[in-house]
Copies of this chain bind each other. A is one copy, B any other.
Amino acid sequence: MNKINVAILGATGAVGQRFVHLLEGHPWFEVTALTGSDRTVGGTYGDGCRWVLKEPMPSYARDMPVMETAPGLDASLVFSALPADIAREAEPAFAAAGHGVCTNASAHRMAPDVPLLIPEVNPEHSALIELQRRNRGWSGFIATNPNCTTVTFTIPLKALDSAFGLKRALVVSMQALSGAGYPGVASLDALANVIPYIGGEEAKMESEPLKLLGHLNGQGVVPHPASLSAHANRVAVSDGHTVCVSAEFEGNPGPEQAEAALRDFRRPAAVADLPSAPCQTIELRPEQDRPQPRLDRDAGKGLTTVVGRVRPDPLFGLKFVCLSHNTIRGAAGGSVLNAELLVAQGWVK
């Protein structure tokens, strides 16, 4: 097939750079435009971008001009790495102008007619695009991926919810510095320290999973009836969010049953054929001290969720630890996977 032209909005920031990196040599997508802030517009990407990834800047991007973030780019799909406040206005403008917007921004995630998608969890929620187009008169669309911590624990909760039925869960995150963007957290605050607070994070961790695990009816998504509680912490890790989970399920499955459900979790058939889909959605580690961000964040090129320490919980029945790469699975990689799903489902022409 011919490649689909895509643009990256907010390409000079930390998440934007990850899009630039992940779309290098993509089999379906051809990056035709990069946008940035006023400071960088007009120059080349190589000049305007303070590259912070350890992977080198792809050569395709170096000489591309940085353009203004405004509709009319030569791109059927746009990937948005915009800050939430800018995304709030800009993304609808792009969708109205006929672009399909796959966004990592939080601005529209919880809107009733906007799909919040993890391909392995709720690919059918893309049907909300029809409602969205009807409601808003758009020819394009907005589709969102969840918060970087939400996705880490929602994937294993999906596997267990499918098997047993989730009743409630308490999640405590230890989040990497890259989740705060660049320059992000001051090194004096981060080094050899824990910051037990991330603005807005706990509310997202308590609401987004219920939409992701919910089911469609004619009007939209009926949220999952489970109850969630979240604590969010920042730790001195560069990449990879670790989450401790205590969870209660119908019928109180034991650790062996839970491990079997995690191991046997089958993603929807449509997902297996997406070019970025990892071999394993969930990797179950047998060691008692895994997952660890240093060792496990790159599993499945950063798209596999690693789970370990499945054990009994005196209060909830089950405890475990899960981890995924926050700027890949939790941000740009999640958006790219969503875009691939939407192409496969026929939402992008």
Contact = CB atoms under 8 A, between A and B. Distances in A.
Interface in A39-84: 52, 54
B238 A191 contact: yes
Interface in A154-204: 168, 170, 172, 174, 177-178, 182-197
B196 A294 contact: no
Q: How many copies does the complex hold?
A: 4
A308 interface: yes
A interface residue count range (under 10 / 10 to 19 / 20 to 34 / 35 or more): 35 or more
- The 5 A-B residue pairs whose C-beta atoms are closest, nearest first, are A183-B186, A187-B190, A197-B289, A172-B172, A231-B244
B309 A196 contact: yes
Contacts of A314: 206, 227-229
Contacts of A206: 314
Contacts of A196: 242, 244, 289-292, 308-309, 321
Given A54-B295, A192-B294, A316-B229, A172 B244 contact: yes
Contact of A168 (B188, B194, B315): B315
A194 B292 contact: yes
A243 to B, nearest CB: 9
Contact of A187 (B170, B186, B298, B309): B186
A169 to B, nearest CB: 8
A180 to B, nearest CB: 8
A157 to B, nearest CB: 15
Best-buried of A184, A291, A314 by chain B (most CB within 10 Å): A314
Interface of A: 52, 54, 168, 170, 172, 174, 177-178, 182-197, 206, 227-229, 231, 233, 235-238, 242, 244, 246, 288-295, 298, 308-309, 313-316, 319, 321
Best-buried of A193, A194, A244, A294 by chain B (most CB within 10 Å): A194
A192 B289 CA distance: 16
Contact of A229 (B229, B231, B313): B313
A291 B233 CA distance: 11
B308 A170 contact: no
Contacts of A237: 191-194, 236
22 contacts: A54-B295, A170-B246, A172-B244, A174-B174, A182-B186, A185-B187, A186-B187, A187-B187, A187-B189, A189-B294, A190-B191, A191-B192, A191-B237, A192-B236, A192-B237, A194-B237, A195-B289, A196-B291, A196-B309, A227-B315, A229-B319, A231-B319
